[in-house]
Amino acid sequence: MGAARNGRHKAQRHCLGGYPDTTLAGAREKAREARSKIQQGIDPVVERRALRSALLAQQVRDITFEQCASEVIKKKQAESRNAKHAQQWENTLKTYAYPVLGKMAVADVELAHVLKVLEPEWETKTETMTRVRQRIEAVIAWATVHGHRSGDNPARWKGNLDAILPKPSKVSKVKHHKALPIDDMGEFMAKLRQQQGMAAKALEFTILTAARSGEVRGATWGEIDLPNAVWTIPAGRMKAEKEHRVPLSKQVVTLLESLPRHAEFVFPAPRGGKFSDASMAAVLKRMGVDATVHGFRSTFRDWAAERTSYPHHVCEMALAHTIKNAAEAAYRRGDLMEKRARLMQDWAMFCSKIQPKGDVVPLRKAEV
């Protein structure tokens, strides 16, 4: 009985502070306050624990939006094989979100704050601001899951911002890459083959493979299988992060066989390493051609659609486009190499033939 009583008194013992920080007079005053609370039915020990717990909880909630974003960016850097993608996250948030949300406690971010970030440039930089919205939503979702805030996500689009901001597709003007007309390809390629320098060779290779500029600039000899006429681009260098095999036409194999192999890259810069993104564009500018490097993918797609009978999915796979239809993607597991090899050979042959211009001459003469 006595032991239980002693235990109870021990559990209720309340520290008044230590000497010399707490004076005798101060200790007596704290003791009077404690007795007063006990008389009111308040346990000072329980109250103190509750205050400490509330303080710790508040410290968790007081983490800023920028601190949360930093953690999300670290996660993206670990997940992404493309360092540029994670850097874009950091750059866009730093430019557009941090000036408004950066130093705010993430728990305090509301719809009005998100709108303050998005509204000023939503209609002039729609594509960029759409990405900013998605990234703000991701940061707030991370904060919610980690207990730094609760409630709905104020950056959510459906059933939230879509009721306030114009739909991106309604205000965004799609900018198409300038493409060369189909019938100009033969004449252009003949002039291109007269150009000197590695960038001109790289541009020819880019056009004949219908590849993206970055994929070509980063191509290494280790990816090229000349005996089997295949270029295998690893997943880490593809936009869709999936390995892509490119069948090489006879013209492309001949081009590659003519190149020196003293460097790692197939098309090395004059001082070694990869050449810049502007190098192939400079070739077009020097030739006086009003088109972009990426635009030749559009020319290839137009030619395949208008001048050939190759199925749509074969042409899309040649461009390494992702199959958006989930059911179709599930069933199409092969890469259609044989069909794509014929397609790319036909494209190379078309690019090597100058198309006649002027009036069309009828095959059958009219009767006099």
Q: Which CATH architecture has domain 65-171?
A: Orthogonal Bundle (1.10)
Q: Reply yes or no on whether the pLDDT at 11 is more than 80.
A: no
Kindly provide the b/e burial profile for residues 130-144, where b requires at least 16 CB atoms within 10 angstroms of the residue's own CB. Answer: bbbbebbbbbbbbbb
Neighbours of 236 (CB within 10 A): 11
Q: Taking the CA of residue 333 as centre, how many other CA atoms within 13 Å lie in the half-sphere pointing to its CB?
A: 2
CB within 8 Å of 347: residues ≥ 6 apart? 208, 210, 249, 300, 303, 304
Closest CA to 300 of 210, 165, 203: 210
User: Residue 27 has what pLDDT?
Assistant: 57
Sequence ranges of the chain with CATH classification 1.10.443.10: 182-351
Per-residue pLDDT of 142-157, as tens digits, reads: 999 998 999 999 999 9
* Residue 307, SS3 per DSSP: helix
Nearest alpha carbon to residue 244 among 315, 320, 330, 344: 320
pLDDT of residue 365: 39
DSSP assigned state of 116: H
* Tokens encoding 280: 């192939």
246 strand-pairing partners: 231
The encoded tokens of residue 28 equal 């007596």
pLDDT digits (tens, 9 = 90+) for 43-90: 656 656 655 655 455 554 578 999 999 999 998 888 766 666 778 888
The pLDDT tens digits of the residues spanning 306-351 come to 999 999 889 999 998 876 555 455 445 567 899 999 999 999 999 9
Q: Where in the chain is the domain with CATH 1.10.150.130?
A: 65-171
Give the alpha-carbon dihedral of 85, 89, 91, 95, to 10 degrees. 150
Mean pLDDT lowest among 30-34, 188-192, 280-284: 30-34
Q: What distances in angstroms separate CA 283 from CA 186, 193, 196, 280, one per listed residue?
A: 17, 11, 9, 5
Per CATH, which fold does 182-351 belong to? Answer: hpI Integrase; Chain A (1.10.443)
pLDDT higher than 80, residue 363: no
Going by C-alpha positions, the residue among 65, 55, 141 that lies closest to residue 104 is 65
pLDDT tens track for 320-329: 887 655 545 5
